[in-house]
């Protein structure tokens, strides 16, 4: 099977798995992308909830909780991005799955970028007890775009059956 020149077909693990197989989670009998996606999907919007709490009840605890939620969400999002790209890149161009995958990819990239911007803006007033509105705006936009991206990801799995198989 040829999946493009960017993927080595050399078996590197136990003489059975390629590097791509390992990143996709095949040796573990489970797709590797899903365990990572839930963390940013939960942590990033949760930051927004802490932001709202800080506006209602100014407290450093809320702003710090929001800050570290975004940090952790972005860190895990990197692993989600790597495992997702390994599934996405070999898809056949023009196929329905790749079209939906591209929408999912673009939306999640935008969402992560918006939250990264929000994080950057928070660092200018690290000891604020209320999240600045300027930092909340990209977070709100990021949460909306993230939800749209999650919708496309869900479509890939639950409707298109991506990585839903007895042979992972």
Partner 1 sequence: MCITCGCDEPEANHGNPKHITLQQLKDAAEAAEVDINQLKKNIDEGLKRYAGAQ
**Shortest CB 4 distance to partner 1, Å:** 9
Residue 132 CB coordination number (10 Å): 17
* Cβ nearer to partner 1, comparing 29 with 93: 93
Q: Which residues ranging from 77 to 136 are in contact with partner 1 (CB under 8 A)?
A: 87, 90-98
**Shortest CB 109 distance to partner 1, Å:** 21
Nearest to 130 by CA among 122, 119, 138: 122
The b/e string for 71-99 (b: 16+ C-beta within 10 A; e otherwise) is ebbbebbebbbebbebbbebbeeeeebbe
**Shortest CB 160 distance to partner 1, Å:** 7
Does the footprint of partner 1 cover residue 164 (CB under 8 A)?
Answer: yes
Binding interface with partner 1 (CB under 8 A):
1, 3, 87, 90-98, 160-165, 167
């Amino acid at each position: 099977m040829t999946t493009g020149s960017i993927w080595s077909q050399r078996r590197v693990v136990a003489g059975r798995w390629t590097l791509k197989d390992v990143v996709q989670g095949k040796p573990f009998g489970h797709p590797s992308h899903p365990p990572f996606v839930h963390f940013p999907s939960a942590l990033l919007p949760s930051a927004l909830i802490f932001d709202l709490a800080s506006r209602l009840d100014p407290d450093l605890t809320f702003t710090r909780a929001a800050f570290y939620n975004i940090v952790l969400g972005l860190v895990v999002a990197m692993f989600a991005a790597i495992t997702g790209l390994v599934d996405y890149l070999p898809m056949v161009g023009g196929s329905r799955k790749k079209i939906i995958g591209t929408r999912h990819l673009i939306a999640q990239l935008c969402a992560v970028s918006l939250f990264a911007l929000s994080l950057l803006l928070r660092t200018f007033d690290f000891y604020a007890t209320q999240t600045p509105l300027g930092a909340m705006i990209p977070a709100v936009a990021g949460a909306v775009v993230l939800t749209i991206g999650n919708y496309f990801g869900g479509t890939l799995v639950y409707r298109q059956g991506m990585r839903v198989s007895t042979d992972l």
